[in-house]
A = this chain, B = another copy of it.
Amino acid sequence: MRIERLSAKAEDYLETILRLSETPRGARTGDIAAALDVQPSTVSAALKSLKEQGLAEYTPYGAVGLTPKGRQVAEDIAGRHVSLRRFFTETLGLSQEEAELAACGMEHDATPLVLDRMGLLGDFLRQNPALLGQWHAARATAKGERAPGVESGLDELPPGVRAVVVGIDVDSGLRKRLVEMGVTPGVLIAVERVAPLGDPIAVEVRGYRLSMRKAEAARIRVKWRPGLI
């Protein structure tokens, strides 16, 4: 039984409830409405429907939660969402915003095998840093977006690709702080990973790992070094 697939909308409601119910505020009708860009009255109706299907439990005016069955579906969708977003950002080199949008739309139709292979392809490329750099350089030049070796902000450097620091576009205390952390012109630098919302960014310099805001990373000019370790 339960061969019936849930609608994309129902899946989005469950995914949102799961995410919000993990916050101290819990999942409130108004917050769900804001997250999904619908009116609170629409959420009320959706909650009633999810409750009837045995996916959500809540008492009117009270807290919203998921049943074990609902949680299972929600976690599956959330997993698809992050798999796709990771592929779009880390492998395809898209922005967090674009990746987020496309992932939340495509997550409902991506089959397990598709997600699996995307993950494997990302692993395959990352496993060889030189290769990863070649790929990102190739795709960056393909559409005239950015010539290889040309400068960009550190915030635009894809995770795993190495670059050389060219300069720091700021003359405030930030510059001093960065220099103290070893971010000086000529040094090799790489982005390790970017938080889901694009902030903060984990950076590696001189064997050290440091965390910085996206806005700060944007002030660090770098030159891509595809092919380097």
Contact = CB atoms under 8 A, between A and B. Distances in A.
Interface string A17-37: 000000000000000000000
B102 A111 contact: yes
B135 A114 contact: no
Contact of A143 (B101, B116, B143): B116
A124 B113 contact: no
A139 interface: yes
Contacts of A117: 88, 92-94, 139
A118 interface: yes
A215 interface: no
B102 A124 contact: no
Contacts of A228: none
A175 B10 CA distance: 54
Contacts of A110: 102, 105-106
Interface string A125-165: 00000010011001100110000000000000000000000
A139 B117 CA distance: 7
A174 interface: no
Interface string A163-200: 00000000000000000000000000000000000000
A49 B32 CA distance: 32
Given A94-B117, A106-B106, A118-B92, A139 B124 contact: yes
Which 6 A/B pairs are nearest by Cβ-Cβ distance? A105-B109, A92-B117, A106-B106, A120-B139, A106-B109, A102-B114
Interface of A: 88, 91-94, 98, 101-102, 105-106, 108-111, 113-114, 116-118, 120-121, 124, 131, 134-135, 138-139, 142-143
